[in-house]
Chain A
Amino acid sequence: MKITRKEVDHVARLARLELTEAEKEIYTGQMDSILAYVDKLNELDTEGVLPTSHAVPMENAFREDEAVSSIGTDNALLNAPDRSDSFFRVPQVIE
């Protein structure tokens, strides 16, 4: 086994997903076969190979620090599931 049910519980917690028992069962099997498949990368010797995080060579993209107009508070709050005045409202954070 590449991944255990216990590890799936842990990863779901990290990913902030409240998976159902049935989902965890399915994902354990599927992730196991996917991880077994990607193991084929270990056939390759990558000693000394630099990792690629970006396909096109780039340097820092600088621009002038000029103020531009933003979308504004009302627009920013347009899709808020819950709001109060000009704030996003969330459930109690500190118990």
Chain B
Amino acid sequence: MQLYELTIHELHAKLKTGEVSSVEATRSILDRIDAVEDKVHAFITITPEEAMQNAAAADKRIAAGEMDILTGIPVALKDIFLTSGIRTTSASRILGNFIPPYDATVVAKLRERGIVLIGKLNQDEFAMGSSTESSYFGVTRNPWNADHIPGGSSGGSAACIAARQATTTLGTDTGGSIRQPAAHCGCVGLKPTYGRVSRYGVIAYASSLDQVGPITRDVTDCAIMLGAIAGHDPKDSTSVELPVPDYTQTLANGVKGLRIGLPREYFIEGLDPEVKKAMDEAIATYKGLGAEFVEISLPHTDYAVATYYLIATAEASSNLARYDGVRFGYRNSDAKGLLDMYMLSRDEGFGAEVKRRIMIGTYALSSGYYDAYYLKAQKVRTLIMEDFTRAFGKVDLILTPVTPTPAFRIGEKTSDPLQMYLSDIFTIPVNLAGTCGMSIPAGFSSEGLPIGLQLIGSPFGEETLLRAAYAFEQNTLWHKRKAKI
């Protein structure tokens, strides 16, 4: 077993006994990146010098007996997290040269614990997309099959884990951007409850929906990472003041007696037969472990995509107003006056999908249309939230597919934005409801593409989510399979 293949907890055990150093582990990861990055293109920026310095510092810390579970662990981050002194682009031309003067709170938390920063990962531009095809820095390929998308928007994070180019990663999820790429690349991905993790220093897309979470090799790593990043932050007033449990402590508590809901609206005709089969097998596995299944209804599911594409685009059009060529980011320097400078800088700085969403959002918020579109969507959001509240009165967890099909082909949906939007049908409702959801490996298609299983928990129910995910993982072998790259 190569060092780059190890999980956080496996590598930690070797660092702790002194069997390997962080410098050796980091070197192994950097060599792996050299070997496979041409085929994957998971990174926007690789930081080998920073990484080797971090690793040397971690080794000193370990020698001094000041070790933490994350000390010396090679981590790569979606390029949406501000990293002090390291270029951060959100995969946009408009931030192509942006060097943040400070760290995002989650980055500062990881740095305090002595991680090794390997680099910044590709994504859809401003996290707007489901395939990582809208990045200004080129497409990322799925390590399981290079003709297919890795998912998005955190496609670089998921591909990087599948190709073993970092020990662990963070992504963000606004409508499925952690869970969908994790499913498409055979990783574990968790979108925490809104407010569980600070968004300070995370480049905003849709502020009422955005949430930070881990994409990892296994469920134990996911629990470790969530524990490291969760908690209240005075710099994000939407982060919640609830204690952060040690999520690793309850992983092995099992699912006996747990009530799991199967929403009939998610098991629909358009569901790929191989995805359906994987869900049936997963249900059988859970039944064998003592979980009970209950059919439930989330009646407003069919309205979630429409609701999302009004709320998210409206919030995006407002958030992205800050890119005006004045204080940071790209400026068209030939512009004649101020208005001209705004309009040309924004047209040239943003890509097609971002402009499309700014246009839809601006329209939905504009005079005469606000009530018909934006306010209407906010009201339907209430109905979708109430669906989940009612469901969690009856069940502890909800089980669904992550996506209707395995990863589609590169280029397959780029010309039809609506078809691209509809691929997020099973993940979007969780963001609208503000609750937590998780993707875990649950099988493979006949073509060899990963299939993901989604578990949805009640608000701040991450412990139950992780416990159920762990039980499944311990009784299946899907997470052991490796992409041949």
Q: Which residues of B contact A30 (CB under 8 A)?
A: 356, 417-418
Given contacts A71-B101, A88-B327, is CB(A18)–CB(B346) below 8 Å? yes
Q: Which residues of B contact A63 (CB under 8 A)?
A: 234
Q: In the complex, A49→B300 CA distance in Å?
A: 14
* B60-101 interface code vs A (CB 8 A; 1 in, 0 out): 000000000000000000000000000000000000011101
Q: In the complex, A52→B377 CA distance in Å?
A: 9
Closest chain-A Cβ to B92's Cβ sits at a distance in Å of 14
Task: Tell me whether A34 is interfacial, beta carbon within 8 Å.
Answer: yes
Check A51–B381 contact: CB distance below 8 A.
yes
- Which bracket fits the contact residues of A? 35 or more
Given contacts A34-B417, A38-B310, is CB(A15)–CB(B362) below 8 Å? yes
Q: In the complex, A72→B102 CA distance in Å?
A: 11
Task: Tell me whether A23 is interfacial, beta carbon within 8 Å.
Answer: yes
Check A56–B346 contact: CB distance below 8 A.
no
Q: Which residues of A contact B247 (CB under 8 A)?
A: none
Given contacts A52-B381, A93-B337, is CB(A75)–CB(B303) below 8 Å? no
Q: Which of A8-42 contact B (CB under 8 A)?
A: 8, 11-12, 14-20, 23, 27, 30-31, 33-35, 37-42
Given contacts A52-B381, A78-B99, A79-B329, is CB(A11)–CB(B340) below 8 Å? no
Q: Is the interface of B mostly helix, strand, loop or mixed?
A: helix
Check B330–A81 contact: CB distance below 8 A.
yes
Contact of A49 among B238, B360, B383 (CB under 8 A): B383
Task: Tell me whether B408 is interfacial, beta carbon within 8 Å.
Answer: no
Closest to A72 in B: B101
Check B326–A90 contact: CB distance below 8 A.
yes
Q: In the complex, A17→B320 CA distance in Å?
A: 12
Q: In the complex, A44→B98 CA distance in Å?
A: 44
Closest chain-A Cβ to B88's Cβ sits at a distance in Å of 10
Q: Which residues of B contact A86 (CB under 8 A)?
A: none
Q: Which residues of B contact A92 (CB under 8 A)?
A: 337-338
Closest chain-B Cβ to A81's Cβ sits at a distance in Å of 4
Check A51–B240 contact: CB distance below 8 A.
no
Check A8–B193 contact: CB distance below 8 A.
no
Q: Which of A55-74 contact B (CB under 8 A)?
A: 55-56, 58, 61, 63, 71
Check A40–B306 contact: CB distance below 8 A.
yes
Q: Which residues of A contact B333 (CB under 8 A)?
A: 81-82
Apart from A11-B363, A39-B306, A79-B327, list 6 A-B contacts with CB within 8 A. Answer: A15-B358, A27-B355, A30-B417, A54-B434, A56-B240, A88-B326
A positions within 8 Å CB-CB of B: 3, 7-8, 11-12, 14-20, 23, 27, 30-31, 33-35, 37-44, 46, 49-56, 58, 61, 63, 71, 75-76, 78-82, 88, 90-93, 95
Which 9 pairs show the lowest CB-CB distances between chains A and B? A55-B434, A51-B378, A79-B328, A61-B237, A18-B343, A81-B331, A75-B101, A46-B379, A38-B306
